[in-house]
Amino acid sequence: MLEMHRGEIQPRQDDVEPLRVGGVVYLNARPLIWALPSLCPWARISFDVPSRLASQLAAKELDVAIVPAIEAFRSSDYVVLSDACIAAADFARSVVLFSRVPLEKVRTLAVDAASRTSAAVSRILLAEKYGVFPEVRELPLGDDPASLDCDAILMIGDRAMTVKRPPLPHVHDLAAEWCSWTGLPLVFAVWVAHSPERDWSHVARIFAAARDRGLAALDIIARKAAADLGLSYTLCYEYLARDLHFTMGPKEHESLDLFGRLAAKYGFVPANGRLRVIN
């Protein structure tokens, strides 16, 4: 299906069937997608928040998408494509748990409607680390978080980064909480596709190459994001270059294994779910 030429991945003429690709609309996914149109011109890329992309992938409205990592455990029909990911090994800035009380006293939790992995991680941490099992509500997209009467509110993505004033006084970075508790990075999102019997290896190579090109263009991406989001260039660049990382290695796989087991323990995913990764 593909020919390799001078280090580039080149489509052949029989590579003409459009690939329906879902891209996360947030800044944290831009390094994964920035070069994709040039490397995969037969892709038809649509953008949405993570939870909606997960629903579209499940409904087979997309062939492949960047989705919350928890989705990879939900179906044996799913495969993870490439070692490209969105992850953090400490503070992530864009996944924040705000609370009006110490976390061990949280009784009500509102989770961002765009979130699935972080929603599960917040509930796992509250249960395992703090021994609390709060009533969970949804923070709808577009709603003012300050209007909610909850002990804690989870916000993700650009929404969390651009909030003008914290809706609650205590601010907890969810990635930092996970990392301090497990000693492992937190993997937020991965490329997931349907049909494990299909040969996805060529697409996986494209996604890895797109990631590498995106990382080489962080200056350009950060400048565009700063203008789009009304944030400083320095904040956008440091967020992409320092706070996040975009490659899965042994520690990320170990973290995903632990997360999958804990998500199954609390009934968020089927028991004995296992990731299949195609590089």
The answer to whether residue 144 scores a pLDDT higher than 90 is: no
Report d(CA 268, CA 5) in Å as an integer.
44
pLDDT at 142: 81
- Domain check: are 195 and 170 in the same one? no
List the structure tokens of 112: 């961002």
- Domain check: are 59 and 134 in the same one? no
pLDDT at 140: 87
Tell me the pLDDT tens digit for each residue of 189-231: 999 998 878 899 999 999 999 999 999 999 999 999 999 999 9
Domain endpoint, select from 127, 158, 182 = 182
- Domain check: are 28 and 80 in the same one? yes
Tell me the pLDDT tens digit for each residue of 16-53: 589 999 999 999 999 999 999 999 999 999 999 999 99
- Domain check: are 36 and 150 in the same one? no
Domain endpoint, select from 149, 182, 215 = 182
- Domain check: are 215 and 253 in the same one? yes
- Domain check: are 71 and 199 in the same one? yes
For 148-176, letters b (16+ CB in 10 Å) and e give bebbbbbbbbbbbbeeeebbbeeebbbbb
**Pick the residue with more confidence: 194 or 272?**
194
Taking residue 126's Cβ as centre, other Cβ atoms within 10 Å add up to 21
Q: How many domains does the chain have?
A: 2
- Domain check: are 203 and 251 in the same one? yes
Domain endpoint, select from 123, 154, 182 = 182
- Domain check: are 81 and 192 in the same one? yes
Report d(CA 133, CA 252) in Å as an integer.
27
Task: Say which range, 140-149, 203-212, 258-267, has the weakest mean pLDDT.
Answer: 140-149
Q: What is the residue range of 238's domain?
A: 2-87+187-278
List the structure tokens of 275: 């990731």
Tell me the pLDDT tens digit for each residue of 62-109: 999 999 999 999 998 999 999 999 999 999 999 999 999 999 999 999
Helix/strand/coil percentages in the chain, nearest 5: 40, 25, 35
Say which CATH number the domain at 71 has. 3.40.190.10
